[in-house]
Chain A
Amino acid sequence: MQSLIKNRDSVNRWMERYGVRFGVYKNGVFNEQLFPFDSIPRIIEKEDWKVLEKGLIQRVKALNAFLWDIYHDKHIIADGVVPEEFVYASKGYMPECEKVDPTGKVYSHISGIDLVEGKDGRWFILEDNLRIPSGASYPMIAREITRKVSPITFVENHVADNRDYATILKEMMDDMNGGRGINVILTPGRYNSAFFEHSYLAEKTGAVLAFPGDMTVEDDIVWYTGLFNEKIRVGAIYRRISDEYLDPLAFESSSLLGVPNLFQAYKKGTVAVINGFGNGVADDKGIYYFVPKMIRYYLDEEPILHNAPTYLPYFKEDYDYILENISRLVIKDVSEAGGYGVVFGRDLSLEKLSELKELIIHQPRRWIAQEVIDFKDLEILESNEKVERKADLRAFVVSSGKDVKVWKSGLTRFSRNPDSFVVNSSQGGGFKDTWIMD
């Protein structure tokens, strides 16, 4: 461990040389930032991991079952488990996906599940990210580099090898592809915040890194235009472009990023789109409340992992509770992501609190409220001094038609600001390696 701490700066220097960056748009200006790496790892013991792994697999299975059900027979609505308005009023619900069968019935191939550990060692799910969860490349490359600068660390500690993420991804893509063509990773281009990740994952999985304009659809088949203008059939697309921009002839017509008529090919089932269309209905902050119910409903199992205690103003009892206790709750706007639209009641002036109350009274469906969880703080190095900061963990769960796997690693993000609970990288935090002990 000492060797790792000593080598923190050289790890960060290596990452800078590799171009490990993420881009941030602020006030319309694009800036690339380094993602600061802290060399003290988060350690998860083998026994704890077993529980997490089981719980994550269970959760993602239920979420995929929910997506299939919502876009087909809607049993869960008919049986009164999830109220219809939560489904149809969700921005992520896409009527175009009704009755469309994605390859292998998989919607969320790569799920980024965000968790926090409470002071008492219990884990809570913060949110599910089922559209295009990013971040796996950072712990991948950080581990690769730390193994180089401090090989002794991995001799002395029995840390599960996490260099298999690319293999897990590739096996999933191959399964979804079914030998129909090549695998591609579709990036919006180098001005996207996660461009480093797109190119790195393409390199590691052997997929072709495709840019907008590289693919066309003919007779419901997706073709990649090769270097010599030859047409190469595409069997699976790991897309890093969101649904609304992915096909300008089906969705947002002003999009220059998409593949025209891709949605038609997807509907006909000639290509796997990873992750599938319409997943936003299942990772909506309002739907989150219902995930434990989904697990009981679809799998007939008790949820292994717990949600943070959540209240929906939609229900009368919760509504009263929220208005009563607003000053100590965290309020989230269900339509926002990336750490935006999250406010802590205790940070607001009385005037702001009553404004927020008004908003909740007028649009109860738009908000959820949660108890503030007493996170377990993690140690980080701030100018060579150990200090404690809030941190979360994004676990990556990969689902193919055959199995569901949890990557023995994850992205541990921490807040650099001692007073902040928001650890999202768009909000200027750092990250650590996550050691799963073997």
Chain B
Amino acid sequence: MKRYRFTYESETSFSAQVTDHSFMLRATPLDCGPQHLLSHSLTVSPSPDSLSEAYDAWGARQHYGIVRNGHDGFRYRSEGIVEVHSEPRKEPKPSPVFMTNTPLTGFIPEMKALCAEGDSLAAAMTIAGRVMNAMTYLPGSTGVSTTAGEAFSQGSGVCQDFAHIMVAVCRECGIPARYVCGLVIGEGETHAWTEIWHDGAWYGIDATSGLRCDDRYITMAYGRDASDCSVCRGMFRGLALQRTSTKVVVEATDE
């Protein structure tokens, strides 16, 4: 078991004033299974005209609302203390939606070489190792809408692409798999990995490192692919370019 103090901070600046800015955030660690959220706070600025809460289809916490008046910057900060245990997330039967690939996780014949058979956890570990070897981690080489097939064909990508390819191959091999978005210890950005279902529980596997996930991985959301896990989405009125910078800090704590 480990305890972390985390801060997820994001700031978007607009080149001109925007209005009627609706937003949806999914920037809070899960509070169930092997993970407990001991304290949490979320601030949004400018102060929104409404701020509501809900849970998405898979249980991730969402904060959403609207900033009506003109503004040229949008900031939010999600922080708190979370306790993580190194055990799989129990579920007796996986939802069949995690057995079918989506457009983002589409399997292409060239991925056949990554397939593995046998015990699903061992097979998934083999697949993760093959994904890691087949791909070069290269920030900027892909975008948010890059598909597993595109990233695999060019042989490079970031954690999102590694996770999508991992999901695509596992599902093709009959192993239920889902995409996970969360945080890891240190300073940086969000991280993405995969959970595969084996014998009554979901096991985290990080295809970027080829390793099993343990209590250093904080889950914020999971779903069929990255689009189910967007940390922030927005829509506004106005003709403006935007630039976003994100800062994540996760440190071990005794509190």
* Interface positions of A (Cβ within 8 A of B): 84-85, 88-89, 93, 95-96, 98, 213, 216-220, 248-250, 253, 260-261, 264, 267-268
Q: Known: A264-B64, A267-B54. Contact between A216 and B20, CB under 8 A?
A: yes
Q: Which residues of A have CB within 8 Å of B237?
A: 213
Question: Which residues of B in the span 1-60 have a Cβ within 8 Å of any Cβ on A?
Answer: 20, 22-24, 49-50, 52, 54, 56-58
Residues on the B chain within 8 Å of A248, using CB: 233, 235
Give A268 to B64 CA distance when docked, in angstroms. 13
Residues of the A chain whose Cβ atoms lie less than 8 Å from the Cβ of B96: 84-85, 88-89
User: Chain B: which residue is nearest A94 at the CB level?
Assistant: B57
Nearest Cβ on chain B to A321's Cβ, whole angstroms: 27
Q: Determine if B73 is an interface residue (Cβ-Cβ < 8 Å).
A: no
Contact across chains for B233 and A216 when beta carbons are under 8 A apart: no
The answer to whether B64 touches A261, judged by C-beta atoms less than 8 angstroms apart, is: yes
Say yes or no for B253: interface residue by CB 8 A criterion: no
Cross-chain contact A264 with B235 (CB below 8 angstroms): no
Verify if B245 is at the interface (C-beta below 8 Å from A): no
Please name all residues of chain A whose beta carbon is closer than 8 Å to the beta carbon of B57 when the two chains form the complex: 95-96, 98
Q: Evaluate contact between A253 and B20: CB separation under 8 angstroms.
A: no
**Interface status of B66 (Cβ within 8 A of chain A):** yes
How many A-B pairs fall under 8 Å by CB? 63
Sample 20 A-B pairs with CB under 8 A, ordered by A number: A88-B99, A95-B97, A98-B57, A216-B20, A216-B22, A216-B68, A218-B49, A218-B50, A218-B68, A219-B50, A248-B235, A249-B64, A253-B230, A253-B233, A260-B66, A261-B22, A261-B65, A264-B52, A264-B62, A264-B64
Determine how close the nearest CB of chain B comes to the CB of A240; give it in whole angstroms.
Answer: 20
* Cα distance A253–B99 in the bound complex, in angstroms: 23
Residues of B within 8 A of A218 (CB): 49-50, 65-66, 68
In the complex, whether B69 has a CB less than 8 A from a CB of chain A is no
CA–CA, A213 and B236, complex, Å: 9
* Residue B174 CB within 8 A of the other chain: no
Task: Please indicate the chain A residues that have their CB under 8 angstroms from the CB of B100 in the complex.
Answer: 88-89
Query: In whole angstroms, how far apart are the Cα atoms of A268 and B50 in the complex?
Result: 15
Task: Looking at the assembled complex, report how far the CB atom of A37 sits from the nearest CB atom of chain B, in whole angstroms.
Answer: 40
Query: Is A250 a contact of B24 with CB atoms below 8 Å?
Result: yes
- Complex Cα–Cα for A264 and B233 (A): 14
B 77-114 binary contact with A (CB < 8 Å = 1; else 0): 00000000000000000011101100000000000000
Contact status A95-B95, CB under 8 Å = yes
Question: How far, in angstroms, from A216 to B97 measured CA to CA in the complex?
Answer: 31
Chain B nearest CB from A270 CB (Å) reads 11
Kindly list 11 other residue pairs between chains A and B, CB separation below 8 angstroms, not including A249-B23, A261-B65: A84-B96, A89-B100, A96-B56, A216-B20, A218-B50, A218-B66, A249-B233, A249-B234, A249-B235, A253-B230, A267-B54
Q: Which residues of B contact A (CB under 8 A)?
A: 20, 22-24, 49-50, 52, 54, 56-58, 62, 64-66, 68, 95-97, 99-100, 224, 227, 230, 233-235, 237
Cβ contacts under 8 Å, B235 to chain A:
248-249, 260
Residue of A nearest to B21 (CB): A260
The docked-state distance in angstroms from the alpha carbon of A220 to that of B50 is: 9
Which of B58, B62, B95, B230 touches A88 (beta carbons < 8 Å)?
B95
**Which residues of the other chain, B, contact A213 by a CB distance below 8 angstroms?**
237
Q: Is the CB of B22 within 8 A of A264?
A: no
- Chain B residues whose CB sits within 8 angstroms of the CB of A261 once the complex forms: 22, 24, 64-66
Asked if A220 meets B23 with Cβ closer than 8 Å, knowing A85-B96, A95-B95, the reply is: no
Known: A249-B234, A250-B24. A219 touches B97 (CB 8 A): no
Q: Contacts of B22 on A, CB cut-off 8 Å?
A: 216-217, 249, 260-261
The CA-CA distance from A96 to B223 in the complex, in Å, is: 11
Partner of A220, one of B52, B68, B99: B52
**A220 CA / B54 CA spacing, docked (Å):** 10
Min C-beta distance of B159 to chain A, whole Å:
19
| A43 CB, min distance to chain B CBs, angstroms | 47
**A216 in contact with B56 given A95-B95, A248-B235, A261-B22 (CB within 8 Å):** no
B52 and A219 form a contact (CB under 8 A): yes
Complex: A95 Cα to B23 Cα, angstroms = 21
- Beta-carbon nearest neighbor of A259 in chain B: B22
A88 contacts which chain B residues (CB < 8 A)?
A: 95-97, 99-100
Q: Which residue of A lies closest to B48 (CB)?
A: A218
Instruction: Identify the closest chain A residue to B23 (Cβ).
Output: A249
A219 to chain B, nearest CB (A): 4
Q: How far is the CA of A264 from the CA of B224 in the complex (A)?
A: 20
Whether A264 pairs with B54 at a CB distance below 8 angstroms is yes
Shortest C-beta distance, B152 to chain A (Å), equals 22
Residues in A with CB closer than 8 Å to B23 are: 249
Interface centre among A98, A219, A267 (most CB of B within 10 A): A219
List the B side residues contacting A250 at CB < 8 Å. Answer: 24
B88 to chain A, nearest CB (A): 21
CB neighbours (8 Å) of B50 from chain A are 218-219
* Bound-state Cα–Cα, A64 to B66, Å: 34
Q: Which residue of A lies closest to B96 (CB)?
A: A88
* A248 nearest CB neighbor, chain B only: B235
The 3 closest A-B pairs by CB, nearest first: A260-B22, A88-B96, A249-B24
CB distance from B166 to the nearest CB of A (A): 21
Q: State the CA gap A155–B64 with chains docked (Å).
A: 59
Q: Which of A84, A89, A260 has the most CB of B within 10 A?
A: A260
Minimum CB–CB distance for B21 against chain A, Å: 9
**Residues in B whose Cβ lies below 8 Å from that of A253:** 227, 230, 233
Once the chains are docked, how many angstroms separate the CA of A250 from the CA of B237? 18
Smallest CB–CB gap between B213 and chain A, Å?
A: 23
